[in-house]
Structure 1
Amino acid sequence: MVPKARALSRAERVQAIANLLRQCPAEEFAMAFNDLRALLVDDSLLLQEAPGLCAWHHKVHFMPVRTPECRVLLTCHNTLEENRYFDPQAQVSFKYDHVRGEAGDFQVYAQEDGKAEMWRRSLEEALGTYVSHHYPKGLCSVFVKDTAMRKILVACIQASMPKPSPFWSSLWKSEWTFTLSPSTSTQVTGTIDVQAHYFEGGNIHLAACKEVTLPLPVASRTQAIRAFVKLVEDSEGQLHAGLMEEYQRMNDTYLKAFRRQLPITHSMIDWEKIMTGRIVTVPALH
């Protein structure tokens, strides 16, 4: 006798929902959320957890905000209190509704116009040019992290390509950090994350991550920023080239095993014609 399945408690359902949404690809969060909403039939439970899960998801994947007032990524580096964020380039802060995906209540948020801000502005302008050339829908933001001992520049890049109709989505994001130093060199640390998901008649998920640690010469601000952008371009280009080589290798070997082979004529079988009556009969063997 098969034992009767035990109903999940409220806490267990919350944990299951959270686990599923945290694994969701960046551009499929809304679809997954709506599907879970239909399955769960408990809006009070889902909406109770939605704001926190959405906020986590948006900051982890560098959600872009594009409005007439600002263009900035949502990250842990520009988070204020009560779901407020700031755009250092536009010098505004705003409240973001993570469930609705809407920004509002814009207020002036002036940054201290010192040496670090000069670096930040110059870096964001140079990096923005690079991003516009390589990522048609990309966006970058640069922030200053002020510690007791030093000032740190953090550059974030995000580019996504949602294609729900052809059943695939992709995300490219990277984060780069270096310290403003009085010496003639500093060190850049970076993390590049790439995700791609294809889900038409199957489920193929690509996830790649590359850690970068390289020296950066600092002869002058102009020279250092130029060298930094070149460092980012070379590092991301190397990862992209490596992924394309690996994809081609997989396409020539492993992925072919997942595909249904074409007949010897190399033409597609007309299944509709077969199903409408043109059934081929084979003589019985004697």
Structure 2
Amino acid sequence: MVSNTSAIASFVEAAPPGELSDVVADIKALTSDDPNLLQSLGPAFEKYNEEQFATVKLPGGSQAVVISSHNSLGDGRYYDVESQRSFAFDHTTQRASAVQSHVLESQHSDLIKSLLKSVSTHAKEHYPSSSVGVYPIENDSLIAIVLVANKYSPNNFWNGRWRSLYLLHPSTGALTGSLHVDVHYYEDGNVRLLTTKPVSASVSASPSAQDVVRQVAAVERKYQEDLNRAFASLSEGAFKGLRRQLPVTRQKVEWEKIAGYRLGQDIGGGRAR
């Protein structure tokens, strides 16, 4: 059972954005002879939720808050700087409960609150359905900036997630971290894009929130431009080279219109709708 649990946990940890509940439903169907198996997957759910920056609305609240290792209080509790609340989080059901007041204790509290406001404005301007968190970490020597944006379109057979993590050294202005993009397309096929970009930049020593957000915006804009160029190159070169000249429809693919095709139906000759 240990090996089976480990294998099933890997399915949880690799769940595409917005599809964890589907994965859980499949696990239940495949392991119906062991109804207690899900209880043993708690660590996998916790790892998934923290790494994917899961979001949850607190009871009585309207704003989704972030779940990550950076705002964990231990024992399944997390805190949110903006609402000044802590809460329990069930990693299996992804629900919050037991909300309490929480006061931020940090020598950088003013910068953290200013960053939270500035990064939230940046996220709302550039990302759909975004959530932001800013937290003191490493014994208050660093500030973690977390941004996650989800866009789900299951009716069109695709889901996507953008994640940004920045670690700011307040005294030196050093800014490190990573950007992650995860997109799953599954109409008459199964294609997934997983890409990560490390970040290493700097702002002025003892930076203002505006200084940091300007650098964040520049880093993310460049990454998006790089992704656009990569997609253009893929459709014009590598992707075209992978396909036969005539697909099963017996009609040539118009490669200049590749972005407008529905992957399975129009290129592969899938079933009509």
* TM-score greater than 0.5 by the shorter chain: yes
Cα deviation, residue 263, structure 1: 4.3
Paired residue for 2:186, among 188, 194, 199?
199
Spell out, residue by residue over 1:74-128, the C-alpha distance to the aligned partner (whole angstroms, 9 max, x if none): 000111232111112211111111222211111111123x641111000000000
Question: What corresponds to 1:225 in structure 2?
Answer: 209
Conserved? CA contact 1:92–1:109, under 8 Å: yes
State which of 227, 230, 233 in structure 2 corresponds to 1:243.
227
Indicate the larger mover: 162-171 or 152-161: 162-171
TM norm structure 2:
0.84
- Alignment partner of 1:158 is 2:151: no
Q: Distance in 1 between matches of 2:37 and 2:87?
A: 25
8 Å CA contact 1:71, 1:87 repeated in 2: no
- Matched with 1:50 is 41
The aligned counterpart of 2:102 is 109
Distance 2:54 2:271 in 1: 44
Question: In the alignment, which residue of structure 2 is the partner of 1:168?
Answer: 158
% identity of equivalent residues: 24
37-46 vs 257-266, which moves further? 257-266
1:252 paired residue among 236, 261, 269? 236
Measured in 1, the distance between the counterparts of 2:113 and 2:226 equals 32
Normalising to structure 1: TM-score of the pair?
0.80
**Aligned-partner Cα distance in 2 for 1:133–1:264:** 42
Offset, 1:255: 2.9
| Closer/same/farther in 2, CA of residues 151 and 270 from structure 1, 3 Å limit | closer
Residue identity matched to 2:121:
T
Deviation at 1:201, TM superposition (A): 1.9
- What amino acid sits opposite 2:21 in the alignment? A
Does residue 22 (structure 1) correspond to residue 13 (structure 2)? The answer is yes
Q: Which residue number in structure 1 is paired with residue 114 of structure 2?
A: 122
Distance 1:61 1:265 in 2: 40
Q: Which amino acid aligns with 1:106?
A: V
RMSD between aligned residues: 2.5
Deviation of the 1:146 alpha carbon: 5.2
Whole-Å Cα distance in 2 between the matches of residues 266 and 132 of structure 1? 38
Aligned partner of 1:11 in structure 2 is: 2
Structure 2: 5+ residue runs without aligned partners?
255-265
Which of these two proteins has the greater Rg computed from alpha carbons?
1
**Match for 1:145: what amino acid?**
I
SS state at 1:80 partner: strand
1:253, CA displacement in angstroms?
Answer: 2.8
User: Are 1:216 and 1:228, in contact at CA under 8 Å, matched by a contact in 2?
Assistant: yes
Say which SS state the counterpart of residue 155 (structure 2) adopts: coil
Aligned length: 254
